[in-house]
Amino acid sequence: MVLHGSAMPVTPDERPKDAAMRRPSPVGIKQSGAWGGRHAAPVPRGDQAKWQSHICLSSDIAGPFMVRAKPLSCGQLFRVFQRLALQGFGGVLPVAHRELVDRENWLSGEEFVELLALSQVLPGPNIINLALIFGDRHFGWRGAVASVAGLLAAPLLIVLLLAALYRQFAAQAMVVGALRGMGAVAAGLVASTAIKLSATLDKSVMGLALGAAFGLGTFVAVGLLRWPLVWVVLGIGGAAMAVAWRRLARVAEA
């Protein structure tokens, strides 16, 4: 620092403050592309509250750190899950991946798969379990209630209204054809989500080949052989967990 031509020494106490002023804060930095590029671009000042975030490790980006957003309030949780539910015609799971991973950046693809796997093992609807776990992680029981309320409030009213209308028009051929077409769309949504989530298998401790083998075995057992789901989860799921546990133990020992 130079003042009136004379050099003024900078004390050690001043250096960290000056360095902290020059160092870019993680808040307000948004990775280019799909939150995974090497170049960072500043977020507009008005959007910095929305992208209030923390730095977390991730293996799917070029650099060692990435900025992960997080929900700011229970009200935001309620609104996002309500928006998610209102888009979920024929299945909420594909929309949940797009909203939580791609749009809000609250979860990475790997974290979404882990939450989904836990939600499938627990009793109850998968998306309800996922909303409970995610809300509780950020705001405790209040977050869990806000997430589930947002997920169920508006669809409950819509379903009650549609049930009353369906009672009057169920016999019409147009309504029957529309419902069959919606079934085909739902199947396509589930298939597209499965393909998208399969990209995370190569980062799993089991690897792509073994993970695909377990997935194929589950499809054959449930879709073709019609085995009870509870036995498939206990059998194939238990075997997959045992294999993953052994490989994690080997990695820890190494």
Would you state the structure tokens that stand for residue 112, as one six-digit string?
């979404």
The count of residues in the chain is 254
**CB-based contacts of 98, cutoff 8 Å, min separation 6:** none
Instruction: In whole angstroms, give the CA distance from residue 128 to residue 139.
Output: 16
pLDDT of residue 90: 62
DSSP, collapsed to helix, strand or coil, labels residue 238 as helix
Mean pLDDT value across the chain: 74
Share of the chain above pLDDT 70, in %: 73
Alpha carbon separation from 110 to 41, 75, 116 (Å, rounded): 24, 26, 10
- Indicate whether this model's pTM tops 0.95: no
pLDDT digits (tens, 9 = 90+) for 33-67: 333 333 344 444 444 444 443 333 333 433 334 56
Sign of the Cα pseudo-torsion (138, 144, 149, 152, in order): positive
Residue type, 219: F
121, amino acid identity: V
Q: What percent of the chain has pLDDT over 90?
A: 22
Q: Under a CB-based contact definition with an 8 Å cutoff, are residues 96 and 193 in contact?
A: no
The pLDDT tens digits of the residues spanning 182-210 come to 777 777 777 777 777 777 777 778 888 88
At 118, the amino acid letter reads: L
pLDDT tens digits along 129-144: 999 999 999 999 999 9
Map residue 42 onto helix, strand or coil: strand
Residue 144 near residue 162 (C-beta atoms within 8 A): no
Q: What type of residue is 146? A: A
Least confident of 148-157, 167-176, 245-254: 167-176
| Domain boundary assignment for the chain | 1-69, 73-200, 204-254
Q: Where does the pLDDT of residue 82 fall: very low under 50, low under 70, confident under 90, or very high at 90 and above? A: very high
Q: What is the mean pLDDT of residues 150-154?
A: 91
Contact predicate 110/205, CB 8 Å: no
- Among 242, 235, 230, which Cα is nearest to 122's? 230
Radius of gyration of the chain (CA): 24
What is the C-alpha separation between 191 and 128, in angstroms, rounded? Answer: 20
More confident: 185 or 105 = 105
